[in-house]
Amino acid sequence: MARGPYDPNLPQNIRLAHEIPTRARPVETAPSQPPGLGQQVGIRLPGANFQPAGGRGADVIGDANIAPGGVATLVTITVPDNLRLIIVGIGFDTDDPVAIGYLTWAILLGPDPAPSYEQMLAAVGSVRQLSTIQVVVGSSQTFTVRATIAATAPITYRFICRVRGWYYTEREGGI
C-alpha cells in the first residue's frame, strides 16, 4: 500500500489537543495570594535577610529644621507587638547641599544607640537612592534616627531622612 502526502485535515488525522476525561475530578488548587503574616508553606528564608510572603513594607520619611549645635529626631518608628522590623536602607537630603557636611546621625533602639550606628557622617545615600544598612528592631521596640548639627554651621538647615524596610514574624517549627 502506497502512502501519499500527509493531510492534517482528513478526519482520521484530526486529534483533539486537549482531550477531556469523562470521569475527571475537580482540580485542587492552592490560594494564589500569600497567607499574610501567618503560617508559610515551603522553604522559609530568614525574615531578617529576605522579605517573607505577607511581610509588610515600611517606608518612612521625616524632616526637621535644626539650628547650629542642635539635635533633632528625624524619624521614629514604633514596632507593633508580635512583629519585628528590619531596616535595610537609609538616606538623607537637605535643601542646601552644603548642609550635609554639618550633619552626623545615630540610630537609637529605645534609649540606646544601635551597634555600628552610634555617630555616623551623613554622606550615606540620599532620599531617592538609599544606602544599604541592616538593623533588626525587636517587637514593641522604638527605632529612632537622631540628627546632630555641628556648632560651626552658619544657619539653621532643614534635613530630610528616609528609611525603608519591612515588618515580619518568625515562626518556629518545620516547613
Domain limits of the chain? 58-168
Mean pLDDT of the chain: 80
Domain 58-168 has CATH 2.60.120.680: yes
Q: Residue 173 has what pLDDT?
A: 46
Q: Residue 44 has what pLDDT?
A: 60
Q: How far apart are CA 132 and CA 163, in angstroms?
A: 10
172 Rama sector, left if φ>0, alpha if ψ -120 to 50, beta otherwise: beta
Residue 49 has pLDDT above 80, yes or no: no
Copy the grid coordinates of residue 13. Answer: 488525522
Q: Which of 121, 117, 122 is nearest to 137 (CA)?
A: 117
- The predicted-structure confidence for 54-70, as pLDDT tens digits, reads as follows 778 899 999 999 999 99
Q: How far apart are CA 27 and CA 88, in angstroms?
A: 41
Q: How far apart are CA 81 and CA 141, in angstroms?
A: 9
The percent of residues in the chain predicted with pLDDT above 70, rounded, is 69
